[in-house]
Structure 1
Amino acid sequence: MTYTINRIIQDASFDDVDARVRNALAENGFGVLTEIDVAATMKKKIDKDMAAYRILGACNPTMAWEAIGMEPRVGAMLPCNVILRETEEGIEISAVDPVASMQAIPNDDLKDVADNVRQLLKNAIAAV
């Protein structure tokens, strides 16, 4: 099982893909709670250059509420990270697969929530 849901966009700039990802996430019930510009951080902290790389911490409040109600410590695995990174092929979008990340938690009800979140993330990435 892979641990991410992936897609490469070849016909757009990094910032355009970023905007499209945020819109698609919003259309599927997610908000972006955090943002990390990894390339800028690496440059600032260790003076290393790298291609554009951004981590968006996406959260679907309804799904998060349900999951936390079932497993209060599941918050250690939230929000759902979505990365955008510049590659030779284009801008790659990768979202965490919540089903894969929740395998460590022995709770069948939580797996159902993870399945729902996975589908919402797949829908969002497909819509970009």
Structure 2
Amino acid sequence: MNEALFLCYARCSTCTKARKWLDGHGVAYTERDIKGENPNAEELAAWHRASGLPVRRFFNTSGRLYREMGLKDRLPSMTDGEAIDLLATDGMLVKRPLLVVPSADGGDPSVLVGFREPQWEQALA
């Protein structure tokens, strides 16, 4: 299996737990700082499609920037494209950690948004 892409923020305690989980389960990954190297709109659009999740699940709803921008009220009226373009402007808007696991057959990757151990266990089995 190709290496997974682990997008995280160094000061995020959930990201630290997820990293320990990945290391403890021998998962090969490339780590990318979500603030220093924010995902671009093209990446986010591909991950959104592959995940099957609503685009709002990609937002860090507990973040300061999310609250300051009033996104709770603004998101419902945005198109997916507008929301993805907004996410691409600042890594602190993106829910973390984000794990992108390549498919063994070259198809769509598995995209895990946030750290939920049972979900990660299933995706990486």
| TM-score, scaled relative to structure 1 | 0.32
TM-score by length of 2: 0.33
Of Structure 1 and Structure 2, the greater helix share is in 1
- Bigger strand fraction: 1
Structure possessing the higher radius of gyration over alpha carbons: 1
